Amino acid sequence: MATVANKPLSEVRADFPVLERAVNGRPLAYLDSAATSQKPVQVLAAMDRYYRESNANVHRGVYELGREATELFEGARERVAEFVGWEPKTTVFTRNATEAINLVAYSWGGSNLGPGDEVLITEMEHHSNLVPWQEACRRTGARLRYLTVSDEGKLSLDELDRVLAEGRVRLVAVTHVSNVIGTINPVAEIVARARAAGAVTLVDGSQAVPQLPFSVSDVDADFYAWTGHKALGPTGIGVLHGRRELLESMPPFLSGGHMISAVDFDSSTWDELPAKFEAGTSPIAEAVGLGAAIDYLDAIGMENVRAHERDLTAYALARLPEVPGIHVPGPADADARGGVVSFAIDGVHPHDIAEICDRSGVAVRAGHHCAQPLMRRMGVPATARASFHVYNTREEVDRLVEALHEARRVFGL
């Protein structure tokens, strides 16, 4: 029997109620965790308990409930920060990774970019780490440049050095793990080279935090953004870890309640970190839920999460080529990629693949995966994508392969 951290996989699966569902008469095989992960009962219970027992606004109430809510909220921040190896005061809660990146693009970008400057991103970015920079460049007159992705789905550090050597790059923004082809990028190396060239760095960790054992401090980017809902947590909460000097020097992104120190009729002064970047009432229950998700991942151990996802990825990479006419872009070695496998089949469009997979309860994503420039680079309009988390099984990969054979049969291939 398959195990995760010496726990039978069936026990892990039992923590995720939605996996008990049947879809089109078959047990659900949820293979879309790169889009959003499922949530364990521990997360649902923590949020439910918060609303039933401790709900109050945070940072204001002098009464017992207000204190409790604040402790739960700030306690979640501390656990989240400790889990990824960063300090709580410079760990900002946002709505999602997109908002975290927009915070930097508006606040840092607005006061640090101008004509003649360059923002360097890569061809494998999710739109969330691409469009905010397009817009920042449009507003400030800076120029947006892309590092290319090789046929093996990798970035070139030599190309990075060449672009940095031109001396105009002010910011380098790169994804830690590709949401389409799974490439694990050498982000610590990229950050070190960018810093040596005087550029600020931002790493999008939305796909990395949920599945890799690592420390954000070791990556050492100036900004590290990720989202809670892909890490077994609820939607509506994201995280931005930032370097203190930068966060302190930046103007607020959103303004309003909670983020102020004093408000006069004409102007205001800003509160300390992280409150300065958390205007308005925070997603309190969501933070509590994310804290519980982090506890859950921590109890399993990220080394074990990674080992499980690596096994499923290697298994999928070995089995998918059994399907005639299949193409699987990205690194061929499971060690070089996260738990995501995109593929295209000659003669069957990805949308039709996903539809036929769904008939047997296999949930896969089809489309451009919010990475249209990468699709263009790979020369395909779209792919189908299977992605894994700690609750997935090899049998589900078998069912995927079976559904792909069925798709070819339906199309008379």
Partner 1 sequence: MDALYRDFILDHYKNPRNFGELEPHDLEAHDHNPLCGDELGVHLRVDDEGKVTDVRFHGQGCAISQAAASIVSEEIVGMSVDEIAKLPASWVIEQLGIEISPTRRKCALLNLKVLRGATTGDASWPEG
CA distances from 75 to 89, 284, 326, 370 (A): 12, 11, 47, 33
Smallest distance, partner 1 to C-beta of residue 350, A = 7
Amino acid at position 157, single letter: L
Cis before 274? omega within 30: yes
- Nearer to partner 1 by Cβ, of 244 and 351: the residue is 351
Euclidean distance between CA atoms 194 and 219, whole angstroms: 12
The span of 19-27, 206-214, 285-293, 404-412 binding partner 1 (CB under 8 A) equals: 404-412
- Nearer to partner 1 by Cβ, of 295 and 352: the residue is 352
Count, in order, helices (H) and strands (E) of the chain. Answer: 15, 19
Which residues 332-391 are close enough to bind partner 1 by CB under 8 A?
348-352, 355, 366-368, 372, 375, 381-382
| Residue 30 three-state SS | strand
317 binds partner 1, rule: CB under 8 A:
no
* b (16+ CB within 10 A) / e for 251-288: ebbeeeebbbeeeeeeeeebbebbbbbbbeebbbbbbb
Smallest distance, partner 1 to C-beta of residue 381, A = 5
Euclidean distance between CA atoms 343 and 385, whole angstroms: 6
Q: Say if CB 183 and CB 213 are below 8 A apart.
A: no
402 binds partner 1, rule: CB under 8 A:
no
- Which contiguous run of DSSP H or E holds residue 302? helix 302-319
- Nearer to partner 1 by Cβ, of 327 and 368: the residue is 368
For β-strands 91-94 and 238-242, DSSP reports them as antiparallel
One of 74, 78, 398, 411 touching partner 1 (CB under 8 A): 411
Which residues 217-236 are close enough to bind partner 1 by CB under 8 A?
none
| Residue 286 three-state SS | helix
One of 22, 25, 62, 412 touching partner 1 (CB under 8 A): 412
Smallest distance, partner 1 to C-beta of residue 313, A = 24
Smallest distance, partner 1 to C-beta of residue 372, A = 7
| Residue 8 three-state SS | strand
- Nearer to partner 1 by Cβ, of 194 and 348: the residue is 348
- Nearer to partner 1 by Cβ, of 244 and 409: the residue is 409
For β-strands 118-122 and 143-147, DSSP reports them as parallel
- Nearer to partner 1 by Cβ, of 69 and 353: the residue is 353
Smallest distance, partner 1 to C-beta of residue 347, A = 8
Catalytic member of 35, 131, 370, 380: 370
- Nearer to partner 1 by Cβ, of 176 and 369: the residue is 369
**Residue 178 bridge partners (DSSP):** none
Contacts of 249 (CB under 8 A, 6+ apart): none
Q: Say if CB 140 and CB 151 are below 8 A apart.
A: no
How many residues bind partner 1 (CB under 8 A)? The answer is 16
Q: Is 357 noted as a catalytic residue in this protein?
A: no
Smallest distance, partner 1 to C-beta of residue 305, A = 31
CA quadruple 14, 15, 17, 19: dihedral positive or negative?
negative
143 binds partner 1, rule: CB under 8 A:
no
Q: Say if CB 240 and CB 209 are below 8 A apart.
A: no
Smallest distance, partner 1 to C-beta of residue 327, A = 15
Closest CA to 278 of 248, 253, 250, 261: 253
Per DSSP (E only), the strands in 211-251 are 223-227, 238-242
Instruction: Tell me which residue has tokens 């994310």.
Output: 290
Catalytic machinery residues: 370
Task: State the residues that interact with partner 1 by CB under 8 A.
Answer: 348-352, 355, 366-368, 372, 375, 381-382, 410-412
